[in-house]
Amino acid sequence: MSQKLSKNPIYTSFGIEEKHLLQECIHCGFCLPSCPTYSENGKEMDSPRGRLYLMEAAMNGEIDISERFFEHIDLCLVCRACETACPSGVQFGKLMEITRDITLSVRDKSAVSKLFSNFILSVIIPSHRWLSTIFKLGWLYQKTGLHWVTKNTFLKNILPTKIRNINESIPPIPFKRFAKNNLQTFHAIGEKKGRVALFTGCVMDHLFPDVHAATIRILNWNGYEVVVPSDQTCCGALHVHSGDGETSERLKNINLSAFSDISFDSIIVNAAGCGAQLKQYKHANSKNDLAYSFSKKVKDLTEFLATVPLRNPEFPLDLKVVYDEPCHLLHGQGISVEPKQIIKSIPGITLLSLIESDTCCGSAGSYSITETEMSIKVLERKMNHIASTGADCVVTANPGCQIQLEWGVRRRKLAVEVLHIAQLLDRAYRGDPNYLLD
């Protein structure tokens, strides 16, 4: 083996399993139009078929693992729209995760991205204490008006474009996260039909406590008692997408143990990205019974509500709504009908059709921070479609999408409200917005 090849981890580590996964691609090109990055720049290397071809070429030692290779691997949003489009069932997301994981060690990353991967991913995100501190500082940053100053005065012009964009995309930060340090129980209203556990996650918990509150109220109203285990942590999806399999595995074990000694029927998730990841816990180690039974119980909120006789929303909402499908709900979990049915069940609502509602908004976990330029292009395309519908409200089911879409609305100064589907349904149940929050 030449020295060059021995430094190519795809050549040295891809085995029979990876070869088989790659061989399922018959090069038909069906995935091309479904890919947001190919749609933007028209380059085969930035299409799913092209990326698989690059992986295969690297596996066969035909190309080097260079910065050029990583450029195309990194530019992938891992939205998995190509998996829905693929008639051959190629597991693109899985191949991308393997590729990012095994090449992580040879990457010649800048100091900034090393900081991101080593510190933010493995230290900050898994720790609620760290997250609370950082979000408190963020809250202060906004409360003192400093955020306004960096967004609206001459200061914004001195910031580098990338930092300026990230700064502008920061949503309003609440003072407190939702979950507490002890186990919480929220009782069913009326006849109790069952008991479910809520997965609180990281971003949703700290940035959108009102979505958790709405989720619990909806479940309570439908006769379900909700427990919120206190020791749970981030699902690890961000880590897997960035190639940090080690931390992801650690987080998985923390979550398995956090949910292990409580009895419940289902684990309810209201963040599409987390749901897709939690359902995959069992794949990583299929013999681990704990992981298997955990994953089997994981249900997206909309998926769960579709299996129960849904309490009728009583209060009509006079809204023209579009539903923008979160990639990891549609492509990652195959859930599309259920959320639309819930929206349609609300009296007064008109659900408009949205062009490319099955296409990514450009959020994609940490993508909007690492690949800001492409993320904005993808977002702009999305906002064009949303604006053309004349909708008053865009509904999503994932915190990353919610942040991104809210930013898109602010950028365009559109009179459009961005809501999580739980917030919409909760409103139709006429929930008191301050209930459960202190």
Partner 1 sequence: MAIDSILISKLHSLLGENRVITHLDELIVFECDGLTLHKQMPDAVVLPKTTEEVSEIIKLCQTNHTPFLARGSGTGLSGGAIAAEGGVIIQMSLMNQILKIDYEDEIAVVQPGVINLNLTNEASPDGYHFAPDPSSQKACSIGGNVAENAGGPHTLKYGVTANHVLGLTVVMPSGDIVELGGKIEEFTGYDLVGVFVGSEGTLGITTEITVKLTRNPEGVKTFLATYNTINDASNTVSKIIESGIIPAAMELIDNLIIQAIESHLKAGFPTKADAILLIEIDGVKSTLTEEAKRIESICLSQNAVNFQEAETMEERDLLWRGRKEAIGALGKVTPAFYTNDGVIPRSKLPEILEFDLEIGKKYGLEVAHICHAGDGNIHPIILYNPDNKNEIEHAIKISEAILKKCIELGGALTGEHGIGTEKLSSLGIMYSDNDQNQMLKLRKVFNPTGLLNPGKIFPEGAKCGESRINQTINKGGWI
Which residues contact partner 1 by CB under 8 A?
23-33, 38, 41-45, 49-50, 53-54, 57, 62-64, 66, 68-69, 72, 85-90
Minimum Å distance from CB 361 to partner 1?
Answer: 20
Q: Which lies closer to partner 1 via its Cβ, residue 60 or residue 312?
A: 60
Q: Which lies closer to partner 1 via its Cβ, residue 19 or residue 180?
A: 19
Nearest to 329 by CA among 255, 269, 409: 269
How far from each other are the two terminal CA atoms of the chain, in whole angstroms?
Answer: 63
Minimum Å distance from CB 351 to partner 1?
Answer: 17
Cα 346 to Cα 81, 166, 309, 396, 428: the distances in Å are 28, 35, 14, 16, 7
Q: Which lies closer to partner 1 via its Cβ, residue 60 or residue 118?
A: 60
Q: Which lies closer to partner 1 via its Cβ, residue 44 or residue 231?
A: 44
Cα distance between residue 215 and residue 315, in whole Å: 17
Minimum Å distance from CB 318 to partner 1?
Answer: 25
Minimum Å distance from CB 370 to partner 1?
Answer: 19
Cα distance between residue 313 and residue 263, in whole Å: 29
Q: Which lies closer to partner 1 via its Cβ, residue 27 or residue 143?
A: 27
Minimum Å distance from CB 113 to partner 1?
Answer: 21
Cα 261 to Cα 151, 202, 258: the distances in Å are 47, 22, 7
Q: Which lies closer to partner 1 via its Cβ, residue 25 or residue 202?
A: 25
Q: Which lies closer to partner 1 via its Cβ, residue 89 or residue 309?
A: 89
Non-local (6+) Cβ contacts of 68 within 8 A are none
Minimum Å distance from CB 45 to partner 1?
Answer: 5
Nearest to 290 by CA among 261, 310, 247: 261
Minimum Å distance from CB 66 to partner 1?
Answer: 6
> Do residues 281 and 252 touch, judged by C-beta distance below 8 A?
yes
Grouping H, G, I as helix, E, B as strand and the rest as coil, residue 53 is helix
Give long-range contacts, CB 8 A cutoff, 24+ apart: 6-9. 7/65, 7/106, 8/58, 8/61, 8/64, 8/65, 9/65, 9/102, 9/103, 9/105, 9/106
Tokens 């040295």, residue? 12
Q: Which lies closer to partner 1 via its Cβ, residue 82 or residue 237?
A: 82
Non-local (6+) Cβ contacts of 71 within 8 A are none
For residue 351, which phi and psi values (nearest 5 degrees)? -90, 110
Minimum Å distance from CB 224 to partner 1?
Answer: 32
Cα distance between residue 376 and residue 366, in whole Å: 13
> Do residues 300 and 284 touch, judged by C-beta distance below 8 A?
no
Minimum Å distance from CB 69 to partner 1?
Answer: 6
Q: Which lies closer to partner 1 via its Cβ, residue 70 or residue 292?
A: 70
Nearest to 258 by CA among 240, 235, 274, 224: 235
Minimum Å distance from CB 192 to partner 1?
Answer: 37
Q: Which lies closer to partner 1 via its Cβ, residue 45 or residue 418?
A: 45
